[in-house]
Each structure stands twice: as structure tokens, then as C-alpha cells.
Structure 1
Amino acid sequence: MLPETLEATIQPDAPVGAQLHAILRDLVLHNRMSPGTRLSESEIAARFSVSRQPVREAFIKLSEEGLLEIRPQRGTFVRRISQAAVMDARFVREAIEADIVKLLARKPDPGLITELRMQLDEQFEAARIDASRFIKLDELFHKTLADAAGKGRAWALIEDLKLQMDRVRYLSLLRFPMIKLTAQHEAIVDAIAAGDQQTAEQAARGHLREILSDLPAIFEEKPEFFETP
């Protein structure tokens, strides 16, 4: 069942299946549809005035991403969060991003440093008043690092892998240590600016291991959102 307050619409000048995928993906990532929620092809098709085929295509893609579970003869359901997928994504992300910051520290770009410090100012402001905006700024920060290092494709890979991590982040907004995370971002920027590859790598690895300390508490608070190990 879709949320009653859903305001998304389908635009006529873009592929319907891709739009439906983006809408449903956003709902799952932001936990606006709880794990176990049953989704109906006919309901969604009627809600957006489209045929059932693009809805089915969106379901299949979301299933491949680990966000939905298609059960033959039973229906399609929002999948619970896989702790194993969260940890695997964190592992891969740490390996890639540690190398990214080392590349940037090898030859610091003053223009990049200026841009990153401007982003840090926005992060510190959002950290005090707007958790959802902070997460978007956090995404922008890491994407900026990857793009600056010429590793945009690597970031695209990370984005696909970290979907379950994102669900955990939105699930834990109230306990999200935003000031601490921004300070960790600042340490990464300082190390890059100083041309200190080792410190930049250590700062990035420490930052991306933050979820290791938070995940057990989040699981204990909301076990219904997670798959049973």
C-alpha cells in the first residue's frame, strides 16, 4: 500500500518505468513503506494512471537491488534490511574511498579545497536543524571527492551497493551523530589540503567505520526492520 500523502507524479516526457522505480525506491529508502508492506501492481498502476507493465519492470529492478521481495503466487513485499549487505557495502566503500582521498592528497587542488570547505559550512548548519538535508549534503561531499579524483564510475558502483546503508541512515535520523560526522569530514579535507595521504586515508577509514558502532543499537531499537541473521 502506498502512503496516503504521496505527492509524486509521472512526467509524460520521461520513461515511465524509470520514474516509477525512482519513486518506489525513494519510499523504501526513506522507510515510508515499512518492511513487509505488500505492494500491488494494479494499485500503483491506477494511482499513476499507467499500465501494469512499467510497474512490473520497476518491481523487478527493485527486487534485484534487494529492496523488494517478489514471492510467486503471494505478491511483492518491501524487504527487510540485510545486515550482511550493510556490512559488505561498508567494506567496499571504505576500500574505494580510502584510495580516493589518497589520490586527492597526492596533489591538492586549492579550488577543490575551497569547495569542500563551503560544503562543510553547510553541513555544520544542517547538522543542527535538518537531518534529512544533512544526509543529502553528506552524499554530495562524498560524490564531490570521487568526481574530483576522476572516479565517478566508482561512485556509481558505491551508490548501488549502499542502498541498505542508506535505509539504516534514514531509520536512525534521531541518533545520527551529524556534528561528529561533519568533524570527520573536516579532518579528511584538512589532510587532503596538507597533502598528507596517510592521514587522509586513516580519516576516511575511521569515518566509514562509524556505522559499526551504531548498527547494533539500531537493530535492538527496531528489530522489525531487519532480516533475522
Structure 2
Amino acid sequence: MSLPRPVLLNSQPVNQQVYRHLRKEIVECVIPPGLLLSEKETANRFGVSRQPVREAFIKLAESGLVEIRPQRGTLVRRISVRQVNDGRFIRSAIECATARRAAENVTPEDLAALELLLNQQKLAAQNQNAMEFLALDDQFHQKIAEIAGCPMAWETIENIKAAMDRVRFLTLREVSPPAGLIIQHYRIFDALASGNPDEAEAAIRSHLLLLRNTIVPVDQQNPDWFEHEE
């Protein structure tokens, strides 16, 4: 499988850049499940030594995206339905709490920042740029955590949502178009603007339930991409 050589920056740790590039390619379905990643070939592709690639593979394994098989290579895992559901449950618990606090703390400046993100999301949707839309989606949720005064909440979510991100990409492409997600984001925005913690929590909870409702049709359309643990 031939992939373009990414451009790495001198200002950032190499292992982190390799990890982010590979994570993005797995989430975007550029690198499919079942593919064996060679440490040597990946190092040659990025133009780096094997050590940062090895470190990137370990982090990808911790995220549940790959399985390191000694002497055989690193296997890109199928999407774990259990991992997706566990991640959604944890994320919902965290974000419901941050939404409540954000509704109590939100300022006009915060609302302006959220509205700007919503406008950018609409533009990304119009341009059919799925990955930009998902990046802005993350920024919207991250901003709510910042408004709540708990940026670590988003850091925790970032560490558990790799499997969810793969499903999000597939649902955005096949099941759940951006227009509906934008409407849900505006409901969250309106709840925060009203300063009502109960409404903010309900809006976030409803929004995150969408992933549970869409995983079944995506699984049915892409059976080779998913694994169902007993």
C-alpha cells in the first residue's frame, strides 16, 4: 500500500507527529483494518529512525487502533464495538458534567467563540469537507470543557475516543450527515446561552446518544470493519 510521505516539523517531537499522522489515516479509513504496518517501511516513509515509529505504534496500540505482533508486524485492528460503547458511556458522563458547569459559567465572549465554530462547521459541511467538520466538532466540545473551567476533561476524552472517531467518520460519510449534527450543536448552544444546566445536560446527552443509534447501520454496511467481542 503506497501512501504519501508526510512533512514533519522540526519544532515538534517526531514520535508524536508520526502518531498523529497514522492515527488520522486510520480514522479517515485511508489505512484499513487488517493491514500490517511494517516498522521499517513506516520509518522509511516518514524519513525517520525506527525508534519514533516504535513509540508511535505503542501509543496507537494503547488507543486500541493497532495490535503489535512481535516478529510479524503491527496489525491495524478492526473497530471494537465494545470499545466504542465504553468510550461513548465515559464521554457522556464527562460531558454532561462539563455542560452543566459551562451553563453556569458561560460569558458573551464564550458564546461568540462557540457561534464562530458553528459557522465554520456549516461552511465545512457545505464544502463537503468531512475531516475539517470533525475537527471543528472536536473544537466545539473542547471549548465547552474550557468554559466549564476543566480542560482536563477534554484531554481525558481525547485519550479514549479513537475507536469512536473511526465510527464518527463512517457515520458522517454514510449515515449521519453534518446538517443534523449542526442542528444538535445549536441546541447545545441555545441551552448554554439560556444558562440552564438541565437543558445543557439534556442537549449533550441527546447529541452523544446519536453514536449509539448509528453504529448498527454502519456496522451492517461495513461488516469487515467491525469486531464483536463476546
Common fold by TM > 0.5: yes
Moved over 4 A (4+): none
* 2: CA distance, partners of 1:183 / 1:14: 37
Q: 1:12, CA displacement in angstroms?
A: 3.8
Question: Match for residue 161 of structure 1?
Answer: 160
Q: Decide whether aligned partners of structure 1 residues 220 and 121 sit closer, same or farther in structure 2, where only a CA change above 3 A counts.
A: same
1:81-125: CA deviations, max 9, x gaps?
111111111111111111111112224311111221222222223
1:14-67: CA deviations, max 9, x gaps?
332222222212211111110010111111122223222222121122112111
Q: Decide whether aligned partners of structure 1 residues 14 and 191 sit closer, same or farther in structure 2, where only a CA change above 3 A counts.
A: closer
**Counterpart check, 1:214 vs 2:214:** yes
* 2: CA distance, partners of 1:73 / 1:207: 43
Residues 108 and 194, structure 1, Cα contact 8 Å, conserved in 2:
no
TM-score of the pair, normalised by structure 1:
0.92
Q: 1:7, CA displacement in angstroms?
A: 4.0
**Counterpart check, 1:30 vs 2:21:** no
* 2: CA distance, partners of 1:135 / 1:164: 14
Q: 1:13, CA displacement in angstroms?
A: 4.3
Question: Match for residue 181 of structure 1?
Answer: 181
Equivalent AA in structure 2 for residue 98 of structure 1: C
* 1: CA distance, partners of 2:56 / 2:134: 25
Q: What SS does the corresponding residue of 1:69 show, helix, strand or coil?
A: strand
* 1: CA distance, partners of 2:105 / 2:13: 42
**Aligned Cα root-mean-square deviation (Å):** 1.6
Q: 1:177, CA displacement in angstroms?
A: 2.7
Identity rate, percent:
43
Question: Match for residue 150 of structure 1?
Answer: 149
Question: Match for residue 127 of structure 1?
Answer: 125
Question: Match for residue 205 of structure 1?
Answer: 205
Q: 1:157, CA displacement in angstroms?
A: 0.5
* 1: CA distance, partners of 2:179 / 2:162: 23
Question: Match for residue 77 of structure 1?
Answer: 75
* 1: CA distance, partners of 2:13 / 2:197: 44
Count of aligned pairs? 227
Question: Match for residue 66 of structure 2?
Answer: 68
Q: Decide whether aligned partners of structure 1 residues 41 and 217 sit closer, same or farther in structure 2, where only a CA change above 3 A counts.
A: same
* 2: CA distance, partners of 1:95 / 1:120: 23
Q: What SS does the corresponding residue of 2:32 show, helix, strand or coil?
A: coil
